[in-house]
Amino acid sequence: MGYLLYSTVFGLLVLSTVLYLTKNIWLPRMYSIPGTSYLYSRLPSSFQADIESGLSSSAFDLSSNVAGGDSRRGLDDVSKREIQKIMKTRRVNFDEARRIHTEGRFAKNNIGPDGLPRDPKFVSFS
């Protein structure tokens, strides 16, 4: 009798560990089951939420989007997280963090801080 009890407990422990470690694979498929849409549902992002989290300034005003009834989801989630991380780590305001983030993206794409490509074959007529 004890052997059956220990085997069952061990089996459940192994099964729960495997399910936990593979949750990124099976959890997104679980949303297609009717009645389970309430599990881990994210609240929709909006421009109002972006303003409340400090991602707006006089130079980058989102209040006109809210006043105009813009139906888009808001700012890009990845960029929001990166800008908020810059704001926290470097203790700068939103405009400065947005500038640092933009210059970092420019550098990754081989574009100078002035907005011109760093490609030696680039020709500009101004």
3-state SS of the chain is CHHHHHHHHHHHHHHHHHHHHCHHHHHHHHCCCCCCCCCCCCCCCCHHHHHHCCCCCCCCCCHHHHHCCCCCCCCCHHHHHHHHHHHHHHCCCHHHHHHHHHHHHHHHCCECCCCCECCCCCCCCC
Name which of 20-24, 45-49, 57-61 the model is least confident about. Answer: 45-49
Q: For the residues 45-59, what does the mean pLDDT come to? A: 77
Residue ranges per structural domain of the chain: 1-41, 47-108
pLDDT digits (tens, 9 = 90+) for 76-108: 888 888 988 998 999 999 889 989 998 999 989
pLDDT in tens, 19-36: 999 988 877 776 555 655
Q: Return d(Cα 46, Cα 66) in angstroms, integer.
A: 9
Q: Calculate the average pLDDT of the chain.
A: 81
Better pLDDT: 17 or 124:
17
Separation between Cα atoms, residue 86 and residue 93, nearest integer Å: 9
**For range 7-22, the mean pLDDT:** 93
Burial of 100-116, coded b for 16+ CB within 10 Å and e otherwise, reads bbeeeebeeeebeeeee
Single-letter residue type at 81: R
Distance CA 57, CA 74 (A): 15
